[in-house]
Structure 1
Amino acid sequence: MAGSVLVAGVVNVQQTVPVDDFPIPYSPVRYLPHQLRVEASGVGLNVARTLQALGSPVVLATMTGADPAGALVRAELESLRLLGDGIVGTAHTPTSAVLVDKAGARQIHTDLKDVPDAVYPPELFARLLRGARLAVLSTIEFNRPLLAIAKSARVPIAVDVQTITGVEDDYSQPWLRAADILFCSAERLETEPNSFAATALARFPAQIVVIGLGPAGALLAVRDRPVRRVPAVAPFGVVDTTGAGDALFAGFLHSLLAGRDPNAAAERAVVVAGCAVGTPGAATRITDARVTDLLARSQ
């Protein structure tokens, strides 16, 4: 696969806290030996490292602070060989706390610090786009002006608008109008997934719409083809659903870039997402060969 995938999005430091269930009953102290985790995470990193693990060359464009959290992030990026020219410094690093219950459901508390108001250097982004096969731009504010740069460079754009409510969502409009490949979650959709996909294909330029359906798998809608639902696969059970949507997104993009048909890409993507929910945290380090093996076993 010649050419890289340019991923632009947030990298944060995530603290994961296990809870018994939701809502959480009050207790002044909870002892959790060897159960609290601190790790680098965030949409940008989740997508980038999953793509990389699957075999897609990746360039990461993000911002990280000159603070202790930033040191942790930079150490992780260096270990993954993602600490490149696309990493821009800011004062503070985004952080999050994720509560995860025994069934794997999660509640995310996020603090983006000053990143939403920061400006990613447009000339740097334009330079990173050279030779890129695909630009993946998350819905963080600093990516808004970068959409036009990717369009001008004629690099295809993939977007995950995540927990969008519908096609009228004001904040998401620039991403909806720019995406060639559009992902979202059904979690907060105010219409049926089939209806959202049909409307999105009719109104926006996307040729492919994929909707994550949680335990029901994913919906695949390709322009001028019948809609298809792909059932979920969870080879190792469900431990933590944090980052499952990012894994689905990255798994699909990798397979598409590898030359697979969207149907095959969707089938492989639900396996990647299924492996993500079977491990704690948001890091999904599954190889393409392992996906092939797991897919063969499930048939």
Structure 2
Amino acid sequence: MARVLVAGMINIETNLRIEGFPLGYHPVTYPFHGVTTNVSGAAWNVGKALSRLGHEVRFVSLVGDDDLARLARRDVRDAGIDDRFVLTVPGATAQSVILVDPDGRRQVHTDLKDLQEPTTVYPAAALTEAMDGCELAVIGNMNMCRNVLRRVRAQGIPTAVDVHVLHDLHDAYDREFLAGADTVMVSDEGLDGRDPHGYLRAIQDIYPATTAILGRGAAGATVRHRQGDDVEVHDVPAVAPRGVVNTVGAGDALLSGYVHAVLGGAAPREALVVATTFAGWKVGASGASSGLTDAAHLAELVASRS
């Protein structure tokens, strides 16, 4: 298996089961066993997933100097990942609250505290050590990741970036991340009625990514891969072997599964089958970093789709 650098957010996530969207006002509710708390964050979800799939993860992130940071560090160590690249900064650790309806649809409320300040930079010395020997980097789109992306690119390490919801293809905030990625991951929540294939083509017309992946929820996922003048586009349907409980973290699982498959030598379509299978199993649990299976079980699930 590969050594992979994963950089970005780790936070403390609380999931709340609700009756449905839109959420009506009630002064008090009692959703028994409907409130759960776990360690999450877009980057951590990927890092934990790749570790579960057997890869060596160098996890690069920032936490505050509070009790929640200790919970986050413990989860990193419990996943078999060294937490020495999770650095402490003054202030509070990021948190999120996820509202989840009976169909598994989610609404995410994320509080990044002071960790999203434009001046936040991950220290160069720690990053140099973290990058050593990495075959690939998966980088989030937090401000702290900007210098990480630049350094990783300078070292020639292939890079995957998830910009999540992208309405404007020329978005000023995400432009640097899009311009620096070999693989770009986006959600169909940014389509705004556009054709999925045309949307991915437009991204690759503007930016240099050789691979663009579109997470499409219940419709599955699409990958557009180019090599020189050759372009291939594949749509793969979604699966949910144990049903849908909570879709939070599905996109992170999709990217993790794709990266895992590509590191194992899979072609784009095969990799997307692996990715949708991994994400489909994951959504059978509540919590963005919960419900992750291992490589052996994933291979069995993929084989059962044939």
The TM-score, its normalising length taken from structure 1, stands at 0.96
Q: Which amino acid aligns with 1:298?
A: R
* Residue matched to 2:299: 292
- In structure 2, stretches of 5+ residues that fail to align are none
Which whole-Å CA distance do the structure 2 matches of 1:205 and 1:243 have between them? Answer: 26
Q: Which amino acid aligns with 2:122?
A: Y
Identity within the alignment, %: 35
1:203 aligns with 2:202: no
1:185 to 178, 184, 187: 187
* Residue matched to 1:217: 220
Aligned residue for 1:142, secondary structure, equals: helix
* Residue matched to 2:53: 54
* Residue matched to 1:120: 122
Q: How many corresponding residue pairs?
A: 298
Deviation at 1:291, TM superposition (A): 1.5
2:95 touches 2:112 (CA, 8 Å); kept in 1? yes
Which whole-Å CA distance do the structure 1 matches of 2:191 and 2:173 have between them? Answer: 15
* Residue matched to 1:145: 147
Which whole-Å CA distance do the structure 1 matches of 2:182 and 2:149 have between them? Answer: 11
1:36 aligns with 2:44: no
Which whole-Å CA distance do the structure 2 matches of 1:275 and 1:144 have between them? Answer: 32
Cα displacement string for residues 110-129 of structure 1 (whole angstroms, at most 9, x for unaligned residues): 11001112321023212211
Deviation at 1:226, TM superposition (A): 2.7
Which whole-Å CA distance do the structure 1 matches of 2:83 and 2:284 have between them? Answer: 30
Q: Which moved more, 1:188-197 or 1:124-133?
A: 188-197
* Residue matched to 2:165: 163
1:7 touches 1:47 (CA, 8 Å); kept in 2? yes
* Residue matched to 2:67: 68
2:52 touches 2:79 (CA, 8 Å); kept in 1? no
Deviation at 1:66, TM superposition (A): 1.4
Question: Where in structure 1 do 4 or more consecutive aligned residues deviate above 3 Å?
Answer: none
* Residue matched to 2:18: 19
- Aligned Cα root-mean-square deviation (Å): 1.2
2:182 touches 2:211 (CA, 8 Å); kept in 1? yes
1:167 touches 1:200 (CA, 8 Å); kept in 2? yes
Which whole-Å CA distance do the structure 2 matches of 1:137 and 1:119 have between them? Answer: 14
Cα displacement string for residues 10-57 of structure 1 (whole angstroms, at most 9, x for unaligned residues): 000011100010011111111122221111000111000111111121
Which whole-Å CA distance do the structure 2 matches of 1:46 and 1:79 have between them? Answer: 14
* Residue matched to 2:96: 96
Q: Which moved more, 1:99-108 or 1:51-60?
A: 51-60
- In structure 1, stretches of 5+ residues that fail to align are none
1:254 aligns with 2:253: no
Deviation at 1:85, TM superposition (A): 2.2
Deviation at 1:81, TM superposition (A): 2.4
The TM-score, its normalising length taken from structure 2, stands at 0.94
* Residue matched to 2:6: 7
1:49 touches 1:284 (CA, 8 Å); kept in 2? no
Deviation at 1:263, TM superposition (A): 1.3
Cα displacement string for residues 171-208 of structure 1 (whole angstroms, at most 9, x for unaligned residues): 11001100001111011223322112112222222111
2:4 touches 2:138 (CA, 8 Å); kept in 1? yes
Q: Which moved more, 1:288-297 or 1:100-109?
A: 288-297
